[in-house]
Structure 1
Amino acid sequence: MPTYHYRCKNCSYDFTAHQSFEDDPITVCPECGQEQVRKIYSAVPIEFKGSGFYRTDGASKSSGK
């Protein structure tokens, strides 16, 4: 199950939750009880491993280009 990061706009409480894709997002803060919780989105780390990711990897040396 995916892990989601949430933050309360009222009290700035940060927390994570394991939720299914079908679950509704959490909207009520477990710390202060206010309905001010928003999901925090962040960049997903990507690693390119192996050959084929660089311009020089796929071109043959004898193609004349």
Structure 2
Amino acid sequence: MPTYDYECDACGHAMELFQGINDPIVKKCPECKKNKLKRLFGAGAAIMFKGSGFYQTDYRSDGYKKAAKADKKPASDASASSKTESKASKPKKSKSDS
């Protein structure tokens, strides 16, 4: 059920009223008791998606997922080969060097 903003033209009293969409518009002001209460136009409530699963990446095509996996494999292979190269380039200490 939505919340509506009301304001009285006679006394200026402003209030919010929680009522159903099909409920009649309230016209009598609770402060001054005159029939000058008007419902105001509001911006409305924002739509809020809560929880997981509302991300663009959750709806990717199979082709995109395959391409992403293919891109990840060479990067991991390159990092593994650079580690082995760095170990191979270091000179080993022999007992005679100490």
Report the TM-score when normalising by structure 1.
0.65
Instruction: Give the count of matched residue pairs.
Output: 50
Q: Which has the higher strand share?
A: 1
Structure 2 CA distance, aligned partners of 1:45 and 1:22?
18
Q: Which has the higher helix share?
A: 2
Rg larger for? 2
Structure 2 letter corresponding to 1:44: G
Question: Does 1 or 2 have the higher relative contact order (CA < 8 Å, sep 6+)?
Answer: 1
Identity across the alignment (%): 29
Moved over 4 A (4+): none
Give CA deviations for 1:12-65 in whole Å, capped at 9, x if unaligned. 000010101110011000000000000111223658xx77xxxxxxxxxxxxxx
Matched, 1:24 2:28: no
Give the corresponding residue for 1:54.
Answer: none
RMSD: 1.9
| Structure 2 unaligned blocks of 5 or more | 48-54, 57-98
* Alignment CA distance shift 1:11-1:18 (3 Å): same
| Structure 1 unaligned blocks of 5 or more | 52-65
